[in-house]
Structure 1
Amino acid sequence: MHPDSPKPEPSASDQTDTDLFLALKAGRVEALSDLYDRYSNLVYGLALRVLSNSEEAEDVTQEIFLALWHKDNYNPTRGSLSSFLVTMTRSRSIDRLRSRNTKLRFLQRWKRISTAEEISANPLEQVSINERSQLIREALARLPDSERQVLEIAYFEGLSQSEMSQRLGIPLGTVKTRTRQGLLKLKQHLRDFIQ
Structure 2
Amino acid sequence: MELSKMLPTSRLPPSSFLLAVTATTFFLLFMAAEARWPILYRVGGGRSTWEPNANLTLWASQKEIYVGDWLYFGFNKTLYDVLEVNRTGYDRCSGEGFITNITRGGRDVFNLTQARPYYFICSRGSYCAMQGMKMEVNVTTEPPPPQQPRPVESSSGSPLFPRCGFTSAVLFLVLGVLSSSGALFAGM
Query: TM-score higher than 0.5 here?
Result: no
Greater fraction strand: 2
Q: Return the structure number with greater relative CO, CA threshold 8 A, min gap 6.
A: 2
After TM superposition, the score normalised by the length of structure 2 is 0.23
TM-score, normalised on structure 1? 0.22
Q: Which has the larger radius of gyration?
A: 2
